Structure 1
Amino acid sequence: MHQNIKGKGLLDRIPHAITLLFVIIVLMTLLTYMIPAGTYERVILDGRHVVVPDSYKVVSSTPVGFLDMFKAIPLGFKAASEIIFIVLAGAIMFEFMETSRAIENSVGTLVKTLGLKHKYSIIIIMTFVYGLLGVTVGYENNIALVPIAAVLSIALNGDLILAAGISVGAMTIGFGLSPINPYTIGTGHKIAELPIFSGALLRSCLCFTALSVMAFYNVKYFRRITNHPERGLGQGLETSNLALSKPIEDYHLSTSNWLVLSIFIIGLVVIVYGVFNLNWFINELSAVFLMIALLCGLVTRVSATTMSNTLLKAVSVAAPGAFMVGFATTIKVIMEMGNIGDTISYQLSNMLQGLPLYLSAIGMSISQTVINFFIPSGSGQALATLPVMLPLGQSLGLTQQTTILAFQIGDGLSNLINPTLGGLIAMLSMCRVPLDRWIRFIFPVFISLLCLSFLALVIAVASNYN
């Protein structure tokens, strides 16, 4: 036994997700004693608070005490209440659709039509489909589609880790590196007063290449667990209600299934319209999910008692993931209580001074990666750091487009492993994948994509990207 433990790699030693997050919470609490409190001045621009460059000042320290550290946990749940509920609402909707067998029959019919001999092609296609959803629709907006990848992966004799790679990995990359991301690129271009979504060619090439890497890695992992099932990271994960219940050749779509799928698709269309035209966000999405669940129950003519039991069953399955979202948000709450976020941004920007031109672009991206663990909101990070980073970039000889690209890379790619990002934790919970196993799976992809993105930054600097 001792030899087995000794032989484990670093990623295999990652503790359970709850333990990992609690260690980070304790470390963050200790940092409030070690890092001076500080703040930037902020002004309101178009209804949003934007940092004033060169306005950083040290303020009285507010270290987080032992009692306050535990008090931050319920405050984290309060701050994350909207994301917690969308996890529950998405699970409720999925459970109602699964009870009707609409999702199982759809996936079974798809696999029967395409054939298991094309299973690797299906993995590649679905990776790009989910990536495109991340590019165009957003991040949390797609949470309801994650369980479909779980059913598909199990149907192809994959596991839940592969399902997370297809859906969560691809959507995170697509959203993070999207050339039309309104939260990072849109906000950055507005602050820099550049044409909205300009410089899209380089970003599009980077995004497509990154999704290709994700698709390749998914296929590689699929081949590995096909040939050596014991090497799969998904062993022991709960797959009830996700596996196909009959042979592939027996699947077809009934009239009831078509009704449920139509309701689901119409609901997604309504969501897309609301997000892009009515400024809808988390609460509106949760409301639509619940409406879809109710309509699915009505068209399948289940009793009120069955609907009630289905709802409670869905909540019981989603509860661990919902808990993880609130628990992870505690980290952000502690940082705000200690007033150390702006200090970290200020010190990281100072470290970039004096670096060679190419290294300064890469260093800026790395600094944004670190900051993203403290400010996981893309638009929030843009508003907090770009007013500081853009003038700094110009003084270092970087174009504004290059500075924004460095920011996008640092923010977008680190979301793959960011334990403070509620959306990531929520989506993983929909796949029933613990954070520790996800990090073991995705970390090689993260490192590969960082190297690829740094190459894109070198190209941006060399070509005077503008």
Structure 2
Amino acid sequence: MNQPSPRHDSAADASQPAWYQRIPDPMVLIFMILVAAYLMTFVVPAGEFERETVDGQTTVVPGSFEYLPDVAALHVFDIFVAIPEGLIQASQFLFIVFIAGGLFHVLQRTGALENAIGVAVHRAGVEEKPENKNLIIVAGTFIYGFFGVAVGFENNIALVPIGVLIASAIGCSRLVGVTMAVGGIGVGFALSPINPYTVGVAQGIGELPTFSGWWLRTAMVLLCLATLALFICRYVTRVEFVDEQPAELDKRLSDYRLTGRNWLTLAIFVGGLVAMLIGVFTRDWYINEIAAIFLILAIIIGFINGLSANGLVRQLMEGASAVTPGALVIGLAASIQVILDDAQVIDTIVNSLSTLVSGMPIALAAVVSSVIQGVINLFVPGGSGQALVTMPILIPLADLIGMSRQLMITSFQVGDGLTNLIVPTSGGTLAMLALGKVSYAQWLRVITPVLLLIYAMCWLALVVGHYVGY
């Protein structure tokens, strides 16, 4: 009997989809996590801490945890009730995705942004020197990292499509642009030495000077951004990316020109971003106000580029429809926290995890604390909210085991911030992926390897920080 040829076998193997192509659709993946969270409520008992309001902030009273014996078990029907409730709770993220999608669709139709990027990349000499594209990727990663450090996380949602266009201009996939933008913003925000949402709140609870201990976090963020940039240049640019909506420039780089109307459009767009930043820093603006700025920009930019009212609405609707799948993923992810809140098990999880570090060597406890914060971030998304829940417990714990409060806060920042890039309950990350038109499964495939490396670097920094008296 003739044996099958090796060529035939290899061809059959080649026809098998790669592992990452077998990852379920993001909707399926997150629904599976939702069901797992529901099942967990039958294993984890309900419990809660006492809370008190101090200077307008609600904080947990350390040592006040008690189990709640009379909490009724959730019904399987509650899984499906949690989904519309999650959509309601995440509505601000959904709407900023819809409005930002409309804004960038209008911007794309004007050609101003594409012309500006085409001109800039052409002047950088990428056509004559292809190796210069790596310089653009490195510079872009650090620029996005700076925005993450100085501005925040969700506040930078509008900048993600620009990264996609930059990647297209240098001949890379939209995955490169999204990794540069979302990764840079995420790492910058996670390790920022001046993060008011995590470091500022946590140091206030820990009674430390605001943004003290900045030097270690500055070294961490610079080193980790450099690692991310190198990873993008060496790995992400080579990843085979199946893109149903490729981001392509319409012309050769040498053919791009900026018209007077383009300059006016860009000036209005940049002016709107500046107004947004002023509002964020001086008037405590957040998602709703930022979305309002985006809507105003879309209207002004549309009209100065000759769109009628009906035409503007049509463009906004087209842009919103393009990001609808990603927006709905955000709402589905929010239903996970709805289930855990309804079962009243979040405080039980926090209490159980916080006791794990007792009795450990201090350097190891710092590393384990960051892992615990990463787990908690799945259930309590939002840096400031997580600081208010966990720091009143972990600061006294740090005092008891001899760990410095500064080190405990930096451990919290590492665990909370970096996991924002992968947990499905991070509305800001899912919103950015929706605007970049990269699926959650594709994102996990590319970001996980470098995130593990960045975690290892940060854990080493925590150990070094302990031994140098940080």
TM-score interval, normalised by the smaller of the two chains: over 0.9
**For 1:332 and 1:14, how far apart are their aligned partners in 2?**
23
Structure 2 regions of 5+ residues with no counterpart? 1-10
Amino acid at match of 2:104: F
Residue in 1 that maps onto 2:166: 152
Residue in 2 that maps onto 1:97: 107
**For 2:55 and 2:113, how far apart are their aligned partners in 1?**
43
Would you say 1:16 and 2:25 are equivalent positions? yes
Residue in 2 that maps onto 1:302: 307
Residue in 1 that maps onto 2:136: 122
Partner-residue secondary structure (3-state), 1:63: coil
In structure 2, the CA distance between the partners of 1:203 and 1:99, relative to structure 1 (3 Å rule), is same
Report if the CA contact (8 A) 2:101-2:320 is conserved. yes
TM-score (norm 2): 0.94
The range that moved more, 55-64 or 404-413, is 55-64
Partner-residue secondary structure (3-state), 1:34: coil
State the Cα distance separating 1:5 from its structure 2 match.
Answer: 9.0
**For 2:16 and 2:112, how far apart are their aligned partners in 1?**
47
**For 2:325 and 2:12, how far apart are their aligned partners in 1?**
31
State the Cα distance separating 1:154 from its structure 2 match.
Answer: 1.4
Amino acid at match of 2:98: L
Partner-residue secondary structure (3-state), 1:50: strand
Would you say 1:325 and 2:330 are equivalent positions? yes
Please give the per-residue CA displacement for 1:354-412, whole angstroms capped at 9, x wherever unaligned.
21222111111111111011111100000000100111111111000000011000001
**For 1:172 and 1:371, how far apart are their aligned partners in 2?**
18
**For 2:405 and 2:430, how far apart are their aligned partners in 1?**
32
Residue in 1 that maps onto 2:7: none
TM-score (norm 1): 0.95
**For 1:344 and 1:390, how far apart are their aligned partners in 2?**
17
Amino acid at match of 2:282: N
Residue in 2 that maps onto 1:180: 194
User: 1:44-443 to 2 correspondence within 5 Å?
Assistant: 44-59=53-68, 60-116=70-126, 117=129, 118-224=132-238, 231-232=239-240, 234-239=241-246, 242-443=247-448
Partner-residue secondary structure (3-state), 1:90: helix
State the structure with more CA Rg.
Answer: 2
In structure 2, the CA distance between the partners of 1:369 and 1:13, relative to structure 1 (3 Å rule), is farther
**For 2:72 and 2:226, how far apart are their aligned partners in 1?**
46
Please give the per-residue CA displacement for 1:330-364, whole angstroms capped at 9, x wherever unaligned.
11111111111111111111121121222111111
Residue in 1 that maps onto 2:467: 462
Report if the CA contact (8 A) 2:173-2:237 is conserved. no
**For 1:6 and 1:320, how far apart are their aligned partners in 2?**
27
Report if the CA contact (8 A) 1:12-1:440 is conserved. no
State the Cα distance separating 1:63 from its structure 2 match.
Answer: 2.9
Report if the CA contact (8 A) 1:139-1:172 is conserved. yes
In structure 2, the CA distance between the partners of 1:103 and 1:281, relative to structure 1 (3 Å rule), is same
State the Cα distance separating 1:223 from its structure 2 match.
Answer: 4.6
- How many residue pairs were aligned? 455
Report if the CA contact (8 A) 1:360-1:396 is conserved. no
Amino acid at match of 2:123: T
In structure 2, the CA distance between the partners of 1:64 and 1:404, relative to structure 1 (3 Å rule), is same
Amino acid at match of 1:42: R
**For 1:416 and 1:184, how far apart are their aligned partners in 2?**
16
State the Cα distance separating 1:62 from its structure 2 match.
Answer: 3.8
In structure 2, the CA distance between the partners of 1:7 and 1:313, relative to structure 1 (3 Å rule), is closer
Please give the per-residue CA displacement for 1:219-269, whole angstroms capped at 9, x wherever unaligned.
112552xxxxxx41x213312xx3111111110110111111001110011
Q: Give the fraction of aligned pairs with identical amino acids, expressed as a percent.
A: 40
**For 2:217 and 2:178, how far apart are their aligned partners in 1?**
24
Report if the CA contact (8 A) 1:133-1:171 is conserved. yes
Report if the CA contact (8 A) 2:236-2:446 is conserved. no
Match of 2:39 among 30, 51, 54: 30
Report if the CA contact (8 A) 1:369-1:414 is conserved. yes
**For 2:401 and 2:236, how far apart are their aligned partners in 1?**
45
Please give the per-residue CA displacement for 1:183-223, whole angstroms capped at 9, x wherever unaligned.
11000110011000000000100011111111011111255
Report if the CA contact (8 A) 1:168-1:427 is conserved. yes
**For 1:257 and 1:428, how far apart are their aligned partners in 2?**
27
Structure 1 regions of 5+ residues with no counterpart? 225-230
In structure 2, the CA distance between the partners of 1:123 and 1:277, relative to structure 1 (3 Å rule), is same
Report if the CA contact (8 A) 2:49-2:60 is conserved. yes
**For 1:7 and 1:460, how far apart are their aligned partners in 2?**
45
Residue in 1 that maps onto 2:4: none
State the Cα distance separating 1:35 from its structure 2 match.
Answer: 0.3
Report if the CA contact (8 A) 1:38-1:56 is conserved. yes
The range that moved more, 52-61 or 260-269, is 52-61
**For 2:175 and 2:445, how far apart are their aligned partners in 1?**
10
